[in-house]
Structure formats: structure tokens, C-alpha cells
Amino acid sequence: MLICSVCGFANPRGQTRCLMCSQPLLDAQSNIVPMPPPQALPIAKGMLKQRYRILFAIGQGGMGTVYLGRDMQLGNRLVAIKEMSQSGLSPQERIQAAQNFKHEAHILAGLQHPHLPSIYDHFEENQRWYLVMSYIKGQTLEEYLKAQGGKLSLGEVLEIGSFYVVCCIICIPIIHLSFFAILSLPISCAPQMDIFI
């Protein structure tokens, strides 16, 4: 196993990037230290696919950026556009990343929960992949904690923790590790975070 120095996720030996956070992994038996991917150049305010107008960036992670945009063909609705850059990936990693990205889009399109966005579209443009989804207005856990004076009630901790556990147990293995057996199970979550299989 290779433990990611950024997020602590245990990755199978042979992985070059963390399955959880996409950061480069260092194999303890290797003398080569992988270089981090170059910063993705943010797309300029403009159009994608002659349909989606980019307004501004609303978040950034290890492999890309999420933008707030408008769907100019369907009522100017607000959308979130997840951009994943291919920069810094080897040809083999690009193939695997493209397969993972398409798989993620199809899996997410089949999941329904009030805290998960609906998937509208996915495509590649200018050597970057895009996932267009419903925009769910909210705040980060850090922002919420600050607004609550740095404290959460036990009920809030359990609710947030339950949702995180559901994502880790169900969503992440399906998306990143392709446990196809799980896909055949009818899984749904009630609003109070009860899991039904």
C-alpha cells in the first residue's frame, strides 16, 4: 500500500496518484520523487461547448477547478462546472483519468440525494474534461463552523459524519475503485441519512 502524504488515503501499490485527492504518490522503494502537476490555467470567462457561460471559480482541488456558470440553452439556469485538467499526466494516466471521469459522470447521474448535484452533461474541450451539474448553494464546513462560533451540536456532528461515511463507503469505492458488485444493489438514502440497501 502507498499512503498519501497529503490526505492519508491507503492506495494500492503501483498507483502514481492518490485515488482520493489525486496528488502524486511517492513509492518508498523508488528513488524518483514525482513532480506535482503544474497549476491548471483557469479558463477565461467565456463559453464552453457554445452553451455554458463561465461566471467565476467557486472552488479548487488537486486536479481542477469548479466554476459557477450559466446554461445559455436552458433558461440561463445556474450550473456548477467541474473542470479537470490533463496537464502533468502521462499518456497512460490520461487514458485512465478519462475512463475514471466518464465512469464518475455515469455513476453520479444515477445517484439521487438532496446533498448531491444532478448531472446534466460531460464533455472534453481544449484537453480538459468538464462535468456540468446542478448548482447547490451552500457553504463549506469551515464557513459553517465559523458562523456557529466554532461549535456544532451532537446532532449536527452525527448528521455530517453519517453523510461523510456514506460517501466514503459507497460513493468513493464505486467511483474510484470500481466495485461493480455494489452497483447492482438498489442503494438509496433517506433525508435523515438512513441507508437502505
| 157 and 96 housed in the same domain | no
Task: Find residue 128's DSSP bridge partners.
Answer: 85, 125
Residues of the binding site for ATP = 82
| 174 and 86 housed in the same domain | no
Which of 6-20, 26-40, 140-154, 170-184 reaches the highest mean pLDDT? 140-154
DSSP strands (E only) in 27-76 = 47-48, 52-60, 64-71
First to last CA, the chain: 30
According to the model, what pLDDT value does residue 166 have? 67
7-16, 62-71, 98-107, 179-188: lowest mean pLDDT where?
179-188
The total number of structural domains that make up the chain: 3
| 180 and 120 housed in the same domain | no
| 159 and 109 housed in the same domain | no
Q: Which domain holds residue 154?
A: 139-197
Per DSSP, 24 falls in state B
Residues of the binding site = 82
Q: Domain boundary residue among 85, 103, 137?
A: 137
According to the model, what pLDDT value does residue 130 have? 93
| 116 and 192 housed in the same domain | no
On the question of pLDDT at 123 being above 80, the answer is yes
Which of 32-46, 54-68, 120-134, 160-174 reaches the highest mean pLDDT? 120-134
**Which has the higher per-residue pLDDT, 70 or 26?**
70
pTM here?
A: 0.59
CA 116 – CA 118 distance, rounded (Å): 7
| 63 and 120 housed in the same domain | yes
**Which has the higher per-residue pLDDT, 23 or 182?**
23
CA 107 – CA 92 distance, rounded (Å): 23
| 29 and 65 housed in the same domain | no
| 58 and 21 housed in the same domain | no
Q: Domain boundary residue among 93, 114, 137?
A: 137
Averaged pLDDT, 11-34: 65
37-51, 86-100, 136-150, 173-187: lowest mean pLDDT where?
173-187
| 133 and 51 housed in the same domain | yes
Q: Write the CATH number for 101.
A: 3.30.200.20
| 131 and 182 housed in the same domain | no
* pLDDT tens by residue, 166-195: 666 655 544 443 333 333 344 444 444 444
Task: Find residue 3's DSSP bridge partners.
Answer: 10
| 143 and 188 housed in the same domain | yes
According to the model, what pLDDT value does residue 8 have? 61
